[in-house]
Chains A and B, each alone.
Chain A
Amino acid sequence: MNGRPPLLSVRNLSVTRRNGSEPAGRPLVRDVFLDVRAGTILGLVGESGSGKSLTALSIMGLLPRGLCRSSGEISLSGRRLDGLSGEEMRRLRGSGAAMVLQNPMSCFDPVLTMTDHFTETVAAHDPALARDRDKRLGRVRKALAEVGFPEPDAVLPLYPFQMSGGMLQRVMMALALLFDAPLLIADEATTDLDVRAQARILDLIDRIRRTHGTGVLCITHDLGVVARLADEVAVMHRGEIVEKAPVEAFFSAPGHPYARALVAAHLCLHAHDAALERARFQRMEAAS
């Protein structure tokens, strides 16, 4: 694409089950090699069990107990991540790299309001800002407005159960925007959402990419999301990357048999697209 070094660079990443403190058994993720450039979106595609979520968790240092990263060099903005301590990784999460997950309801504490969540996040990364109430609220309002809440003050006092999945996802993205994280990892962020909410979130991700120059690692099993958003595509199958290509090339001429099967199944569902376009067109004609 361009000559700049990638924002996120992952080389030879492997994840295995952990026995005590030693890796044991076959790797669940093997030799993953991927780049995310600033201002672009990499779509990481694969079916459940392929290891794509594990890859993301490994990058963020959030692997569950029982799993460990057995090898890999990870660099974010030129800084090596794989050697960092737990505390340093914690500081990085939210400010250097932000994550948006599949089930938004589970990411929020059910007894805290949105205000509390924002306060907590700010306090974790910028204690000085946390103390300055006006400044902090100003930033929070700005972030909420950017993700599509024209009246941020209406949202702040709400509890998670009072909000829809789509709304919660947008708040997650506002939390990510608070500290202008250069990398955003979206792991099946729209899978559990309604089609309309999904469209909004995808538009939002695209907009953030354009306005903030954020690099996005978008993990999904839905090729429609990839078609809509991605600049580059990487396909994972059974823990390995089997295909990597720019998005147009991926859809027009996939190489690996697995990638071909995916694209074929995807296009098979779109046989009626022309007819649907006609229906929409007719409606627009009738309306005008």
Chain B
Amino acid sequence: MNLLELSGVTKTYRQGGVFGGKGRHLVLDQVSLGLRQGECLGLLGRSGSGKSTLGRIALGLEAPDAGTVHFLGRPVVARGLRRNGFARRDLQVVFQNSLGSVNPRLTAGDIVAEPLDNFERPSLAARRTRVAELLEMVGLRPADADKYPHQFSGGQLQRVCIARALAPRPKVVILDEAVSSLDMLVQAKILDLLAALRRETGASYLFISHDVRVVLRLCDRVAVLHQGAMVESPAGVERIGDFTHPAFLALVDSLLPATPPTRAA
């Protein structure tokens, strides 16, 4: 059984005001997606292709116009601001902009502990221990728990966000362009960290990105969102040479080379 199952998900955004929409923009068209236990699935697409919308629908933060979302076999319903208790605990998220995903007035420790406070309500001592544990797991120091977001660098703050996502021991983590804003060296380290954490915790990832190479580096399987429709790779990443669908190749065509090509003067 798939951990996370999206079936026939359709989403339209209406443009224009109250008095008649100018046009309906079909962002997602009958999209189906399944995330298996223990895998890292890469969701590719150009910017504006609807990948982030899909991520929010999978999280239950937005409701689709049609279609269903099932997590661990149970339906995920996004109804206004009602939380869907159990789904939230095992389904966490890391966003692209680390500075925007944290409350600037809270310390790193409070940020990381928020899911703990909501789901587990640990004692003060247990909370402190667990926060220290989580910070060390992502390569920070326990003393960093008292620092504020603006005192961290981009890479470090993203580690804090990853620690927060892993705090309730989720089964699935959705990473929405989580490394896209990072510099190359930092990005490489975070990718290594994500891979290591997946092995350690056994969590499954849905990795949303526009960057083909990053996806190929981290993920086991790839799916491409193109003009609202989903195309999955026939096999895993190790056989990516067989993925000849035009939606995928459209992304590959614009890739920059690894090394300088021989050039005309």
Contacts and interface: CB of A to CB of B under 8 A. Distances in A.
A touches B (Cβ under 8 A): yes
A222 B255 contact: no
Interface in B240-265: 240-244, 246, 248-249, 251-261
B46 interface: yes
B246 A276 contact: no
B229 interface: no
B200 interface: no
A162 B214 CA distance: 31
B209 to A, nearest CB: 12
Contact of A199 (B243, B254, B260): B254
A221 B183 contact: yes
A279 B248 contact: yes
A65 interface: no
B47 interface: yes
Contacts of A262: 184-185
B213 interface: yes
A272 B216 CA distance: 7
Interface in A117-136: none
A275 B258 contact: no
A151 interface: no
Nearest to A221: B183
Interface string A273-288: 1111011101100100
Query: Looking at chain B, what size class is its interface with the partner chain?
Result: 35 or more
A216 to B, nearest CB: 14
Contacts of A266: 184, 258
Contacts of B187: 265
Contacts of B47: 194
A103 interface: no
Contact of A47 (B183, B210, B246): B183
Nearest to A200: B254
Interface in A158-206: 194-196, 198-199, 202
Interface string B121-136: 0000000000000000
Given A47-B185, A262-B185, A283-B246, A268 B217 contact: yes
B111 interface: no
Contact of A275 (B210, B240, B246, B255): B240
Interface residues of A, number: 40
A272 B246 CA distance: 18
A154 interface: no
B72 interface: no
Interface stretch (A3-11, A56-64, A104-112, A224-232): A224-232
Given A224-B257, A279-B243, A268 B252 contact: no
Interface in A236-288: 247-248, 251-252, 261-262, 265-276, 278-280, 282-283, 286
Contact of B244 (A252, A267, A279): A279
Given A194-B46, A268-B217, A279 B257 contact: no
A272 B237 contact: yes
Interface in B195-222: 210, 212-214, 216-217
Given A252-B259, A273-B258, 5 more contacts: A262-B184, A272-B213, A272-B240, A279-B240, A282-B244
28 contacts: A47-B186, A48-B154, A194-B47, A194-B210, A221-B183, A222-B256, A223-B184, A224-B256, A225-B256, A251-B260, A262-B185, A265-B187, A268-B188, A269-B214, A270-B258, A272-B216, A274-B241, A276-B240, A276-B252, A276-B255, A279-B240, A279-B243, A280-B252, A280-B253, A282-B241, A282-B242, A283-B244, A283-B249
Interface of A: 47-48, 194-196, 198-199, 202, 221-225, 227-228, 230, 247-248, 251-252, 261-262, 265-276, 278-280, 282-283, 286
Top 9 nearest A-B pairs (CB, nearest first) are A224-B256, A278-B241, A275-B241, A270-B258, A195-B254, A47-B183, A265-B188, A269-B213, A199-B254
